[in-house]
Structure 1
């Protein structure tokens, strides 16, 4: 009986260790230039007054995978753990998509429809909890 309880505790500790942890906005690293495919979105402009802030959690789970961020089916960047980026967009409706896959990473895709007004700032967190389901969660 004690061995079974110890085994269950070991498994539970392992699952917790695989969960990811949010990265505070001020301490996230920027996405390097070699993984930015549409750099215009990362530059503020008078006609792009709405912002989409994306940050990816840190942690062991999924750490070897890049996650692709697309806006209206246009690949913008690939984000890795502990990184963040702000996309500057014109007010309007958007389709935000998050995908991963290739190598040891499972093919997972999730998306959200966004509506942004002038001056809006929406904050999203990319996380991969211990259940293995990639998530794109709106924080604000």
Structure 2
């Protein structure tokens, strides 16, 4: 009986751990394809767009069938899928970064971050689903 209980606990722990996503490195990440880029000006470097926002989405089973839309100041910039990343080039200033998902089998979820970037500054954000199953947009740097 003790073995059955221990096995059940181990299976529960492993199943929860299997639901969380894992980060991808910049070298591993695939670029967001052009057909899911809605505001291409943010993907182009220029002298006035000296600040950057790097956004990556984890890989893993949880949420893998859902595209997540990225908004900057309530404008849809791109749709990001697992193991993808993008660098947005922006004019230094204050921004509202929002992540939304929904449609099909995906729940309607929205989360956001306020940020201020200086000239030449780079901020790094990660889209992840930890073992609690709640979609997150977190700042890494």
Could you say whether these structures have the same fold, taking a TM-score greater than 0.5 normalized by the shorter chain as the test? yes
The residue that corresponds to 2:39 in the other structure is 38
Query: SS at the partner of 1:111?
Result: strand
Unmatched 5+ residue regions in structure 2?
none
Q: Distance in 1 between matches of 2:131 and 2:35?
A: 29
Question: TM-score if structure 1 supplies the norm length?
Answer: 0.97
Give the aligned CA root-mean-square deviation in angstroms: 0.8
Query: How high is the TM-score relative to the length of structure 2?
Result: 0.96
Give the Å deviation of 1:113.
Answer: 0.3
Aligned to 2:61: 60
1:4 Cα deviation from its structure 2 partner: 2.5
Paired residues in the alignment total 140
Matched residue, 1:111? 112
Q: Which residue of 2 aligns with 1:120?
A: 121
Q: How does 1:62-101 map to 2 (within 5 A)?
A: 62-101=63-102
Would you say the 8 A contact 1:38–1:77 is kept in 2?
Answer: yes
Task: State whether residues 61 and 130 of structure 1, in contact with CA within 8 Å, keep that contact through their aligned partners in structure 2.
Answer: no
- Contact 2:19/2:133 (8 A) holds in 1: no
